Structure 1
Amino acid sequence: MRIELLLKGAYERLNFVSETAQLDAQLLLAHVLDVSTSYFYTWPEKQVSDDNIRVFDDLLSRREQGEPVAYLLGHQAFWSLELEVSPCTLIPRADTERLVEVALQVLEQTDQTPTTRILDLGTGTGAVALSLAAELPHSTVIGVDLIDGAVELAGRNATRNRIRNATFLQSSWFDALQEQAPFEVIVSNPPYIDPDDKHLSQGDVRFEPKSALIADNHGLADIEHIVATAPDFLAPQGYLIFEHGYDQAAAVREYLTTRGFTKVASFQDLGGNDRVTMGQWTQV
């Protein structure tokens, strides 16, 4: 079958389950054929072998069931990196790049030295930690995750992207970090979805680990814990920076202010939603 006809049928199949049906189909077929998606515009009349059609059909069937494209491909682009992904942790999303941007803005305003230390709590694929490490090659970045598989995955992503100033440890938040402190900046994209949120049963998130998505107290329990504990691990004048839900910024600002943080502020994502909040620890 010709590429153009194969893709046309794939668009029609995925149109009912994905808002990006055309892109999904192209990415999956490019993966099967080991080509770039631009190949399809240059060679639409090329024939696809029966074996490749069978593999493509299997991937389409899995996508029709809602399985994320990133899991089907085994990788996902984030910032300037190409990251291996796995069902043991979340798929990096574009909104989280805002967390990287805010952290870089903060670090640009501070006196960076070769001893600048950055901590990423709940690192997952290592997306945030590795993006910061790539942009700040003279810093030391540590990422921690509760899940051993995520720690191993983040380490593979460091190797994949040739990043040498980031290391990854297994830890439940700060538990294994007593000897690593202090840090000039602590960043985190923690679980922040309410366990009763109806969206957990919809779309791609059905296939992602709930432990990386949900938190008690309407999604705020882990953020509360990090805010309460972070000052013990921050350097003087250090910053704590979170990603959070679109409707949680006011609560996160209140937690930070009550704990004694200053310069508390929130930042919007590309959709105009408050997505990242930070505070500076100025107490001695």
Structure 2
Amino acid sequence: MEPTVARTSPPLPGVRGLLDGIPGQRAPRPAEPSAAAPAEVPTGAPAGAPAEPRQGLGRRLPRVPVPFTLSYAAVLAVTSWVTAHAGPALVHALHQASSTDVAHLLRAPVPVLVASALWVAGGFASPFTLGFLIVLSALERRVGGVRTAVVFLLGHVLATLATEVPVGLAVLAGHLPDSSLHRLDYGISFGVAASVGALAGLLRPWLRWPLLAAFGGMLLQDLIAFTDPLTNWGHLIALVTGVVTWPWVRRWQREATGHGEAAVA
């Protein structure tokens, strides 16, 4: 219900002193303006006039510019809470069921590719979560939510297949044990890396190349450290996938905003 401005009526002159012995009669109060239809005040009303009724809540709230990013972040917050508070056995079972390992990709490729992108390796406080919020929101403002999702999923899917298919072939050739078919592989990092590569194509050169150099250099350092070579190769493949989408994201930006190359402060 919208707030209404209370109106104060001037006091009516008393009649008790004029008619002794007769109880004073209370005059009817003037009708209050209806809350459903508050009175309009013309522009330039004098001081002391009732304030103009405020608009509805839906009109006061700003339009959310990045619904895909915020909705996805809410899902990641929920799954991260489950990871932090559920029992270790349950968390391991959920991660294992969502893993894009060779065994799951052969049985149910589409469901497992989607499920694996619902978890954050390292929890919601992971650096990739911050990168997710910054990069995807910036990309979504330029090309829209659906196209941002396409870029994210493209990097996620292609990098996953590029790292898992060789594992399956190596197992068939006898170079890796059968246990390699069931390794844990989940998270949003491939999609984030692809989104970084795509967003770089929409930036001015003075910002584009330092971003690619810094992010690519970090990925190369991880690869040289050789702690998780398959995942590290996947990050580089996803970054290159994002760079390959430059002609498409630039066209999408022109269609969405009517502008060409845009700078980001």
- TM-score for both structures, normalised by structure 2: 0.29
Q: Greater strand percent: which structure?
A: 1
Q: Greater helix percent: which structure?
A: 2
- TM-score for both structures, normalised by structure 1: 0.27
